[in-house]
């Protein structure tokens, strides 16, 4: 039975509602995504597959049966050598060959494309996604699409008419909606290609001169060109929903022409479509690209962001809004906003409408199902400070600052602490990083600064910091130390930080002193 309204106002729920309304009540809905594995599959590509995964989740949440496809376009042509290959020049001879039939430059996989395919499939498991994979080289080579290829060839003139309406110059009279790889040299550069009719297909290779007639039902060399291949697969797999990047979404782009071709050639409606925008790297030059080598994989991002936080970043943005993945101090803000969303998801104190939205975003973010109560989380900012106080020792940090985190909470703590330490070592701004001295160090200070340190030692020896809140510690510092010496407050704080971490500034002092503890402070001061 079709729902009368979306489950929530989240874009995945409204899109799922649109799919059901447009396609009608069906025993199964098919949602699809895919990419050409011509290089590393980056986190920008992840936006498409997660968009589909969330719509699939939204459909299932209203009781619908869903088939979630991910199509590897591994029969596409190797058109550009990525800059990040071990020896780019050695791969120039493979240009214009199918990416599934050239060797892996790292010698780790059966072919070039397979390395990137396997890495991305493993990464999708990491973030809780398990689509049904389709491999297009196998589909074409097995003859699965033979009837569809013939149907497209017989409709060549109709397809040309659609494409020419969006072109500045018309396609050549000899144009066919297909591409063929030479049986001898595997190149796709042809002197001519012709379709005599029925199941025959003829070509002559411009690279090596080989000439032959193929049987469309048996050949492993023939495929449809992209603008025809996409709608053909919508028809073949009965796709109800598939998103696309804005490069496919312009007027007369791949989706527009595909929507016309599927109706003209195969007589069925196109899938419900959703445009998504690009994902960038903060501080990068533009959108991520395999060929330029400027990219981040899911594994790269998950070194700093937990899987549910990565999913939350995407679920929290509408697909047609671009954003950047950050590795600077914004990482703290992202974790804080995720934790705030998580807390809100378990209470309606923010108002029902806001709670429903936060709850839905949170549900879409999780790798598994939500727990019955809000999980224990170590705040990312405080965790970074605690880890540095313990020299990066995660278990020592746990025992000292988070001893109540046991069971699942301990597992979650280790996950976040591992990423926090990774961020501190590789990405955190220099002013955020510090290391507490292991023993007392000598520092050249003014007489008022030395007097301030003496007053601080006296204060610490007479005070139980553990029983005070940070506001009280701050007030006491000013009353007993800062206001008692004849120098600027900044000079007092500088002296304390130099003695503790060898820098003129650091974490907020009241909480920092409390976390270090009086015994260690007295040793260092």
Per residue in 186-232, pLDDT tens? 999 999 999 999 999 999 999 999 999 999 999 999 999 999 999 99
Quick one: average pLDDT of 438-447?
Answer: 93
What is the pTM (predicted TM-score) of this model? Answer: 0.90
* Sign of the CA dihedral running 393, 395, 399, 404: positive
Distance separating alpha carbons of residues 254 and 257, to the nearest angstrom:
5
Distance separating alpha carbons of residues 259 and 206, to the nearest angstrom:
33
Domain boundaries, the chain: 11-167+226-277, 281-432, 447-524
> What topology is assigned to 11-167+226-277 in CATH?
Rossmann fold (3.40.50)
- pLDDT reported for residue 349: 64
Alpha-carbon distance values, 437 to 52, 444, 465, 500, 509 (Å): 50, 16, 20, 6, 16
Quick one: average pLDDT of 443-458?
Answer: 95
- Residues of the chain above pLDDT 90, percent: 81
112: nearest Cα among 91, 136, 135, 134: 91
Contact between residue 34 and residue 70 where contact means Cβ atoms under 8 Å apart: yes
3-state secondary structure of 221: coil
- pLDDT reported for residue 256: 96
149: nearest Cα among 180, 172, 174, 186: 180
Q: Who's near 283: CB < 8 A, 6+ residues apart?
A: 328
Band (pLDDT 50/70/90 cuts) for residue 249 is confident
Band (pLDDT 50/70/90 cuts) for residue 348 is confident
Q: Which CATH number fits domain 281-432: 1.10.10.770, 2.40.70.10, 2.30.30.230, 1.10.10.60?
A: 1.10.10.770
- pLDDT reported for residue 31: 98
Band (pLDDT 50/70/90 cuts) for residue 130 is very high
pLDDT digits (tens, 9 = 90+) for 23-45: 999 999 999 999 999 888 999 89
For the chain, what is the radius of gyration of the CA atoms? 30
Tokens, residue 454: 């003496």
Phi-psi region of 201 (alpha: psi -120 to 50; beta: other; left: phi over 0): beta
> 275 forms bridges with which residues in the sheet?
244
- pLDDT reported for residue 290: 64
Fold equal for 281-432 and 447-524: yes
- pLDDT for 351 beyond 70: no
Alpha-carbon distance values, 424 to 97, 167, 333, 388 (Å): 44, 51, 15, 9
Q: Who's near 472: CB < 8 A, 6+ residues apart?
A: none
CATH architecture for residues 447-524: Orthogonal Bundle (1.10)
């Amino acid at each position: 039975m079709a729902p009368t309204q979306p489950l929530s106002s989240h874009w995945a729920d409204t899109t799922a509602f649109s799919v059901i309304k447009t396609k009608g009540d069906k025993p199964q809905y098919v949602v699809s995504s895919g990419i050409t594995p011509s290089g590393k599959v980056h986190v920008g590509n992840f936006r498409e597959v997660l968009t589909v995964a969330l719509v699939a989740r939204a459909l299932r949440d209203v009781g619908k049966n869903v088939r979630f496809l991910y199509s590897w376009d591994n029969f596409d042509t190797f058109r550009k050598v990525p800059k990040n290959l071990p020896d780019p020049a050695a791969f120039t001879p493979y240009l214009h060959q199918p990416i599934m039939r050239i060797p892996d430059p790292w010698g780790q996989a059966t072919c070039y494309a397979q390395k990137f395919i396997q890495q991305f499939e493993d990464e999708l498991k990491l973030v809780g996604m398990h689509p049904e994979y389709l491999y297009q080289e196998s589909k074409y080579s097995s003859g699965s699409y033979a009837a569809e290829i013939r149907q497209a060839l017989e409709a060549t003139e109709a397809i040309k008419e659609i494409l020419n309406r969006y072109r500045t110059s018309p396609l050549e009279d000899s144009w066919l909606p297909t591409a063929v790889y030479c049986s001898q040299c595997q190149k796709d550069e042809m002197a001519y290609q012709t379709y005599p009719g029925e199941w025959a297909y003829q070509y002559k290779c411009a690279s090596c001169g080989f000439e032959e007639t193929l049987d469309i039902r048996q050949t492993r060399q023939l495929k449809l060109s992209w603008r025809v291949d996409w709608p053909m697969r919508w028809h073949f797999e009965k796709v109800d929903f598939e998103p696309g990047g804005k490069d496919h979404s312009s007027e007369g782009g791949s989706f527009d022409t595909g929507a016309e071709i599927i109706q003209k050639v195969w007589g069925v409606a196109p899938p419900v479509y959703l445009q998504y925008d690009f994902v960038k790297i903060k501080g990068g030059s533009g959108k991520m690209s395999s060929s330029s080598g400027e990219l981040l994989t899911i594994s790269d991002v998950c070194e700093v962001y937990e899987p549910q936080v990565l999913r939350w970043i995407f679920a929290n943005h509408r697909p047609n809004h671009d954003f950047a993945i950050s590795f600077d101090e914004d990482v703290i803000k992202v974790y804080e906003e995720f934790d705030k969303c998580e807390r809100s998801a378990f209470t309606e104190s923010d108002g029902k409408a806001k709670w429903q939205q936060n709850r839905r975003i949170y549900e879409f973010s999780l790798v598994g199902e939500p727990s019955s109560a809000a999980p224990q989380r170590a705040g990312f900012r405080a965790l970074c400070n605690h880890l540095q106080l313990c020299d990066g020792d995660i278990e020592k940090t746990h025992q000292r600052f988070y001893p109540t985190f046991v069971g699942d909470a301990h597992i979650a703590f280790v996950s976040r602490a591992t990423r926090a330490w990774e961020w501190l070592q590789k990405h955190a701004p220099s002013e955020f990083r510090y290391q507490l001295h292991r023993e007392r160090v000598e520092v050249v200070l003014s007489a008022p600064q030395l007097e301030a340190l003496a007053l601080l030692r006296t204060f610490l020896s007479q005070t139980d910091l553990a029983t005070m809140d940070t506001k009280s510690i701050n007030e006491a510092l000013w009353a007993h130390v800062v206001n008692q010496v004849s120098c600027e407050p900044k000079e007092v704080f500088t002296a304390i930080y130099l003695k503790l971490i060898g820098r003129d500034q650091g974490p907020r002092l009241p909480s920092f002193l409390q976390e270090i503890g009086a015994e260690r402070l007295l040793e260092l001061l």
